[in-house]
Amino acid sequence: MVEYNQYLFIDFEFSMPENKTTPQGFFPEIIEVGLVSVSNQSINHTFSSYVKPSYYPMLTSRCKSFLGITQSQVDQGMSFVDLVEYLNEADTTKESTIVTWGNMDMKVLRANCLKHNIPFPFKGSKVDLSMEYKRFFGDQNQTGLWKAVQEYGKEGTGKHHCALDDALTTYNIFKLVEKDKRYLAKPEPTTIGDRIDLSKVLNKFAL
């Protein structure tokens, strides 16, 4: 992890149609945000909020059931305009590396910004950690967030599909992958002490 850079680990949850077939005109809106700000390999702060959808304010039963949220929670959330303003302020360096699991978060954020006619908040590089994970392990298919952390023998933080918990889990996987990358890039040289038990040899000659 580059010491001077700021990393923003972000997860959004979206509204969804009642059925898997998307009705004409419908598009997913951000209804929850979780953000973890990291620099110098330490968490600076975390942020979590519901976001009130502007175009389709009433959540479908499928959406509420899948995400485990209520209509009143999003009704009391921040506006999308306030969300983008917060994201602008959170990107203190204006060159932060934005890390998400999958590419949908940034796609939906960009589409929502276009709908609201406001600028996209991030200028720095974007990292889809799910693709990094796929390439690193040579997987044929992309792995789900919580399945990926379980493959490391760990558990996800909190509750899956809670935006902040998923952002924290993304950060935890990032640390694990980066650790493996460093290990493979700079393998420690094997010493003779790693190959044989020197204490047994010394004991033999002491006899």
Q: What is the pLDDT of residue 35?
A: 98
Of all helices (H) and strands (E), which one includes residue 36?
strand 30-39
Q: What is the pLDDT of residue 204?
A: 47
Q: How confident is the model at residue 5 (pLDDT cuts 50, 70, 90)?
A: confident
| Active-site pick, 132, 161, 178, 188 | 161
- What tokens does 55 get? 């175009």
User: What pLDDT digit, counting tens, does each position of 30-47 carry?
Assistant: 999 999 999 988 999 999
| Active-site pick, 3, 13, 18, 178 | 13
Catalytic residue at 13? yes
CA distance 150 to 127: 21
- The DSSP-derived string for 154-170 is ---SS-TT-HHHHHHHH
For the chain, which residues make up each domain, given as ranges? Answer: 6-206
**Mean pLDDT for the stretch of residues 138-160:** 87
The pTM of this model reads: 0.85
CA distance 107 to 57: 20
Q: How confident is the model at residue 77 (pLDDT cuts 50, 70, 90)?
A: very high
Whether pLDDT at 100 is above 70: yes
Catalytic residue at 151? no
In sequence order, the β-bridge partners of residue 11 are: 34
CA distance 205 to 116: 80
Beta strands in 51-176 (DSSP E): 97-100, 126-128
CATH number belonging to the domain at 6-206, selected among 3.30.465.10, 3.30.420.10, 3.40.1500.10, 3.20.20.100 = 3.30.420.10
